[in-house]
Structure 1
């Protein structure tokens, strides 16, 4: 087999009491291509009640037919299962499983022991939910599993053969309205199934086991009897319903006799020889049409029965756990994402910090040079601004002299000392340089008598504008007057020329070089 086609190739198997039927097809969207179809009679020596023996024989039969697909859908015959159409009084999907199981247990009674129940929702009716329920004894499922294991075929799905028949009728383009009732008579050689389908749903189905007979006439006679019995039972419950179309499929010679034998009761019956959605080797199908329908059902992409893995009621505790796990996972992912983004941003910030540090280190020397130049200029400006008002000081000192017949000033010498320089830091203001330059005034003169000199000295001592640094020099013999004197004054207090006298030599911002002076 081409390995490119292995992935979409499916296998359907129906193992009866004596006959093995199988269809291998390539499943496409909405259709299938039949590759192989076989109907093989088991040898009389085979114990068909032994799943191991049947599985070993099946393996050889499939291999002999060239069937290599190892994953199959297994069919259960209608007579071995129970199918019910139920209306559940709820529309909540989480309640379907439990309510369906309870309803089927009531329907089956004592036969409910040891069955697997699956269901498929089929719409809304009268405020409730329509479901089709299928119950299959667990012993049948176990038999299929053991048989498949021995045949080295994996069980993909276990379903009712009837639903393959229903899929064929549903997709049959025969011109009849979709809601019209169709009847399918499926003769397998070992059993007979009647399936009534309308609107894409199985409305009624009935199956009966028949004895396998190699003689076509005898097989057809027993089949006709069973069809008449099943039809009569259905007609009693549905006397007013009209069947739009009846189809029969199976081995051609037998189904022709069946159609002729029940036509007077059922109406015209046609043999299914082809199907618009089943392509490939359809001439080899005959009694395997329902198996092709089971594979066609897979191509329709809709809910299907599978008693091998039936639908269960949701585990609400598990759902809460999963929500908690999801929340924890979301938190973990968020934390991991946050940590990842943070680590990335931190790395970027560190790289930027290193880059800025390198730039700052490179600019540090330039910044320091700029600061030196700035404070050098500010220092010079502060010195230039520290210039006392010498004329005002001269006027203030001259005001202390009595009349010129008693005291004469000979010398007025102003000296500006070097002083100190300091940095002044004020909040919200730029750092500035302040220069304090003490001012010293030397006054020399002559007096007529000692008392005049003492009075002048006392006047300077009492005045708050000046401080007398030297008490003066007592000398005798001046050029004009007999008592010479020398006073060294340091101004302090109000600025020179003000009502209170001269000011100290303190400057802010600029200063002049030391040693400047004035004399009079």
Structure 2
């Protein structure tokens, strides 16, 4: 067996491996090793192989890689690595690196790369969402801090505005109490007959008003209340009692007035036989 190589360590290691494999698979033992190559390299390799394998190792000057014996028996499956190693320099492609064997093809590498790419995209998207969300949170917190700092002033301004609103509503309710006494006089005098059977003597009107009241339990505009009462005193003379009773009945007809007191039935008038006095009352419109 022979080999020629620039890397003595590769040749030595491969030779030892080949001899060991031969001994395990072949019946005929290896008796001798022949080395072909440059003198200085071959001498070094011969000594190392003799020491490692304990076999007879010889060096020949003629290149062994030119012709191989045709009668060399080589069983199927038997290692024959030194032939390829010895002829490596004659091949057009790169030499086999025996110290760094090629890693087996990773068939799932494309799927793994796509998975890593997808994970990277998801990570970048999550980072963008997280950064954007944190930015919005910081902006909202800044607005909250600004509003919290302005809250005392806003509260004071709101209180002043509420007080002014209450004053306005109070004054508005107070001014709304303005009964039309002329219309009341016309309504009362309108029930007195104008055919001479009765005459009207005097008429007085009074306003009973206790002020504006604010009811916190009420709703809407009904919170403000400005109720009042109107009182009227009417005097006159009638031809007889039936005429005076007709005037009284006309006054209390409906819900506009109520008779609170009446004068003495036996009172006599100066112009007509019978005098009458009626005291009327009326609640304010709701």
Shorter-chain TM-score: what band?
0.5 to 0.7
Q: TM-score, normalised by structure 2?
A: 0.58
Corresponding residue of 1:14: 6
Q: What is residue 455 of structure 1 aligned with on the other side?
A: 246
Query: CA 1:14–1:407 in structure 2 vs 1: closer, same or farther (change >3 Å)?
Result: farther
When the two structures are superposed, what TM-score results if normalisation uses the length of structure 1?
0.35
Instruction: Output the CA distance in 2 between the equivalents of 1:476 and 1:40.
Output: 173
Richer in strand (by share): 1
CA distance in 2, matches of 1:391, 1:305: 128
Deviations 1:287-325 (A, max 9, x none): xxxxxxx9xxxxxxxxx9866253643423x54355345
Q: Secondary structure at the match of 1:391?
A: helix
Q: Which residue of 2 aligns with 1:378?
A: 169
Are residues 136 and 472 of structure 1, via their aligned partners in 2, closer, same or farther at CA, if it must alter by over 3 Å? farther
- 2:132 corresponds to: 341
Greater RCO (CA < 8 Å, at least 6 residues apart): 1
Q: Report the counterpart of residue 406 of structure 1 in structure 2.
A: 198
CA contact (8 A) 1:446 1:478 kept: no
Among 444, 447, 450, the alignment partner of 2:234 is: 444
Q: C-alpha separation between the residues in 2 aligned to 1:114 and 1:468?
A: 138
Q: Give CA-to-partner distance per residue, 1:321-355, whole Å, 9 cap, x none.
A: 55345434543553354334323422331232122
Match of 1:417 among 185, 206, 209: 209
Distance in 1 separating the partners of 2:208 and 2:146: 52
* 2:277 aligned to which of 480, 485, 492: 485
8 Å CA contact 1:386–1:505 kept in 2: the answer is: no
After superposing on structure 2, the runs of 4+ consecutive aligned residues of structure 1 that deviate more than 6 Å are: 111-115, 423-426
Report the Cα distance in structure 2 between the residues aligned to 1:360 and 1:40, rounded to whole angstroms: 101
Partner residue, 1:517: none
Question: Is 1:390 matched up with 2:152?
Answer: no
**Would the aligned equivalents of 2:258 and 2:281 in 1 still touch at CA under 8 Å?**
yes
- Larger Rg: 1 or 2? 2
State the distance in 2 between where 1:489 and 1:114 align. 137
Q: Does the 8 A contact of 1:411 with 1:445 survive in 2?
A: yes
Change (3 A) 1:462 1:45: closer
Which secondary structure does the structure 2 equivalent of 1:488 belong to?
A: strand
For the 8 Å contact 2:198–2:243, the answer to whether it is kept is: yes
CA contact (8 A) 2:174 2:212 kept: no
380 and 349 in structure 1: CA distance in 2 versus 1, 3 angstrom threshold: same
The one-character-per-residue Cα deviations of 1:108-150 (angstroms, maximum 9, x if unpaired) are x9579698xxxxxxxxxxxxxxxxxxx967xx9xxxxxxxxxx
**416-425 or 403-412, which deviates more:** 416-425
Give the Cα separation in 1 of the matches to 2:131 and 2:171.
57
> What is the alpha-carbon distance in structure 1 between the residues aligned to residue 112 and residue 76 of structure 2?
37
Separation in structure 2 between the aligned mates of residue 391 and residue 328 of structure 1, nearest angstrom: 91
Offset of residue 472 of structure 1: 2.8
> Displacement of 1:398 after TM fit?
0.9
1:17-58 Cα distance to aligned partner (Å, 9 max, x none): 9x9xxxxxxxxxxxxxxxxxxx99459466343899xxxxxx
- Check whether the contact 1:475–1:485 (CA below 8 A) recurs between aligned residues: no
State the partner residue of 1:313.
105
Is the aligned partner of 1:363 residue 2:154?
yes
Q: Which is helix-richer, 1 or 2? A: 2
Residue of structure 2 in register with 1:353 after alignment: 144
Equivalent residue, structure 1, for 2:30: none
| Contact 1:410/1:446, CA 8 A, preserved across alignment | yes
* Structure 1: distance between partners of 2:122 and 2:51: 52
Q: What's the secondary structure of 1:387's corresponding residue?
A: coil
Q: Kindly indicate whether the alpha-carbon contact (under 8 Å) linking 1:379 and 1:433 is maintained by their aligned counterparts in 2.
A: no
Preserved CA contact (<8 Å) 1:416 1:440? yes
Q: Secondary structure at the match of 1:49?
A: helix
CA RMSD of superposed structures (Å): 4.5
1:178 matched residue in structure 2? none
